A = this chain, B = another copy of it.
Amino acid sequence: MSAPSDARLADVGRLVVRCPDRPGIVAVLSRLMADAGANITESQQHSSDPVGGTFTLRLEFVLADLATRRLQLEAALAGLAGEWQFTWRLTEAARKPRLAVFVSTADHVLQELLYRVGSGDLRAEVAAVVSNHLDLEPVARAAGVPFHHVPVTPATKDAAEARALELVGDVDLVVLARYMQIVSADFCSRFPERLINIHHSFLPAFVGANPYRAAHDRGVKLIGATAHYVTAELDAGPIIEQEVARVDHRATVEDMRRIGRYVERQVLAQAVTWHVEDRVIVEGDRTIVFA
């Protein structure tokens, strides 16, 4: 929750380690970090099961001159990885992940992401906005972000996706910010655990199109939004974050859409923030979120 002051951001690192759960792993890793001179400022761990489960550890640490000493730290980790069968991810907090944001015509989620990037609450760089419509070009331009118009029709979908991929180039995360198009399995496979969608219902309720209409017709008293990693199966990927808002019998479908927009932007922005801070780890169909 607490962000280190910018002055020393260059020294801040994050380490995520996963391995079969086994007594002693924390002792080994914390010894390694101590020996490397790293001061651990935040530590969270989770065992999917004390017996035969997977152990996940996330550390935030301060290590003077991290950029230089990073290789040394990675060598130490590599030296132990075999014995303890762990995989790891080491990131420097100073590095801003590059995002590609796919949108359609609704601007609320894009605006929120751009606002949070601008305010520094979301430490990332929006590298490109891609849309099948032109409506949001001014929003992207005003924020100084390249905008790519890639129309999509059922017939041209494959070509459109290929074109979009080419245009966005190398990015760390793709965000579907009310994109309203179902992306292909091939597209998904290019961004494993790096493709986040916002769905405008509390999944698994109201999968698919027009969830507010369906919610209205079912007479629910809470509407919701869900941010999840995208997998080949529609609206079925691992959930990162959900939130709801209360509605009553007076709410029309249009009211639900309006109220829901504020839930959607909050949920997606929160999910993206946790992702870029290496706080989300996929475990099967579920996520671990070290919030």
List residues of chain A with CB under 8 Å of any chain B CB: 1-3, 23-24, 26-27, 30-31, 33-34, 37-47, 50, 62, 107-108, 111, 115, 119, 121, 142, 202-206, 217-222, 224, 238-244, 247-252, 254-255, 258, 261-262, 266, 283, 285-289, 291
Measured CB to CB, the nearest residue on chain B to A237 is B219
Given the known interface contacts A222-B202, A286-B219, the answer about A34 and B38 at a Cβ–Cβ threshold of 8 Å is no
Measured CB to CB, the nearest residue on chain B to A248 is B289
Q: Are A219 and B205 in contact (CB under 8 A)?
A: no
Chain B residues contacting A289 (CB-CB under 8 Å) are: 221, 248-249
Question: Can you give 17 contacting A-B residue pairs, CB < 8 Å?
Answer: A1-B250, A2-B251, A3-B255, A23-B38, A26-B30, A26-B43, A27-B33, A41-B47, A44-B44, A202-B202, A203-B205, A204-B205, A204-B218, A217-B285, A221-B240, A248-B289, A249-B289
Neighbour of A222 across the interface among B26, B244, B283, CB < 8 A: B244
Query: A44 → chain B, closest Cβ, in Å?
Result: 8
Copies of this chain present in the complex amount to 4
Measured CB to CB, the nearest residue on chain B to A217 is B285
Query: A193 → chain B, closest Cβ, in Å?
Result: 14
Given the known interface contacts A3-B255, A50-B39, the answer about A219 and B287 at a Cβ–Cβ threshold of 8 Å is yes
Question: CA A113 – CA B193 in complex, angstroms?
Answer: 35
Measured CB to CB, the nearest residue on chain B to A282 is B219
Other contacts beyond A1-B248, A42-B250: 4, CB < 8 A: A43-B45, A121-B258, A218-B286, A221-B239
Q: Are B219 and A250 in contact (CB under 8 A)?
A: no
Measured CB to CB, the nearest residue on chain B to A215 is B204
Q: Are A262 and B255 in contact (CB under 8 A)?
A: no
Chain B residues contacting A111 (CB-CB under 8 Å) are: 115
Measured CB to CB, the nearest residue on chain B to A259 is B1
Chain B residues contacting A34 (CB-CB under 8 Å) are: 23-24, 26-27
Chain B residues contacting A255 (CB-CB under 8 Å) are: 1-3
